[in-house]
Amino acid sequence: MKKIAILCFDYAFSSVITGVLDLFSLAGVTWNRIQKEPPQPLFDIKLVSRDGLPVRCLNNLIIEPDMALTAAVTSDILFIPPIGGNIEKTLSKELLTLKWLREMHQNGCQIVSSCTGSFMLAETGLLDGKLATTHWGYIDQFKERYPAIQLKPEQLITNELSLLCAGGGSAWLDLSLLLIEQHFGHDIAVQTAKALVIERKQQIQTPYFTSHGQKYHSDTEILAVQTWLDAHFSEHINIDELGARYGFNSRTFKRRFKLATGDTPLAYIQSLRVEMAKKLLESSRQSIEQITQEIGYIDSSSFMKLFKKKTGLSPQTYRQTFSHVGQKTA
């Protein structure tokens, strides 16, 4: 039996804490019951907090931990849920927790994080030089704070064996199943997923990305360009002429734009067009050809290739997954 400690702190996501608690508690139990076999619990799960005192989660639910950090030193796995409050304030309050995380890892404990919980794992320094992922909406903040980490925001899960990260939303489900597979084998993970009716996802979170974070910079001239592009991205745009309109020569414009946004001007325009295409696929019955023309392209084949490159899904699959209206996939 493996020992899991689920970290609890103020403004954490209670749904992940209780969800992880349920999932690991039922591994080896629900499937066995369905099969008329004796339950065989696989995990001993404890809720822990910095001082063992109750915590108030983001939704105001109060959770009473089983113990303080120092009483959970024999844990095999430590699970960090998402930070739902101000990230910097949470990290500054949990300095003792960060020290404990480093000590636990040094003693052989596997540490995993979900969504913005990756910030707490990253703050320990344990991820420096290693792969990590986080919620897509916090990519820029993560990159700025932890430049030594190889952030892979498109990935749903990054696996450094003793250090794992899951992306946003319900990625903790996939992470939990992966941990079950690592410790008890593929068959047990599949049985758990079947018993709890969990569909294992594709291993990317790019379909959820937006380009909004690319405006978190202080270059006012490039911001002006971005504001213009927001309104005119569907038009035919000459990159050099666009730069000249704002007083840049071609080379300086491309360099400044990439420095500010992380993208070339062309890649940024493509992202804006894909964003609009996603909205149209979600909310309209327009055909792929109509959407192609509306966002500024002529060739729907080229658009579909670009869309899949940016999101990991074809336009048709994206519409089937996210559409809010009756579908027309012509």
The string of DSSP codes covering 117-136 is GHHHHHHTTTTTTSEE---G
Q: How many CB atoms lie within 10 A of CB 281?
A: 25
The CATH number corresponding to 212-322 among 3.10.310.70, 1.10.3720.10, 1.10.10.60, 3.40.50.960 equals: 1.10.10.60
2-208 and 212-322 have identical folds: no
> How does DSSP classify residue 81?
P
pTM exceeding the 0.95 threshold for the entire prediction: no
2-208 is classed CATH 3.40.50.880: yes
Residue 234 neighbours by CB under 8 Å, 6+ apart: 273, 276, 294, 295, 296
Interior angle at CA 252, CA 240 and CA 149, nearest 5: 115
CA separation for the pair 9, 221 (Å, rounded): 41
Domain ranges of the chain: 2-208, 212-322
Residue 128 neighbours by CB under 8 Å, 6+ apart: 146, 148, 149
User: pLDDT tens string for the chain (330 positions)?
Assistant: 999 999 999 999 999 999 999 999 999 999 999 999 999 999 999 999 999 999 999 999 999 999 999 999 999 999 999 999 999 999 999 999 999 999 999 999 999 999 999 999 999 999 999 999 999 889 999 999 999 999 988 888 998 889 999 998 888 998 999 899 889 988 898 899 989 988 766 555 566 565 555 676 789 999 999 999 989 999 999 999 999 999 999 999 999 999 988 889 999 999 999 989 988 998 899 999 999 999 999 999 999 999 998 888 899 998 987 776 654 444
The amino acid present at 8, given as its one-letter code, is C
**Please, where are the H alpha helices in the chain?**
14-26, 30-34, 87-93, 95-106, 118-123, 139-145, 171-184, 186-195, 220-232, 239-245, 250-261, 265-283, 288-294, 300-311, 315-322
- Owner of token pair 């049985």: 191
Rg of the chain over Cα atoms, rounded to whole angstroms, equals 23
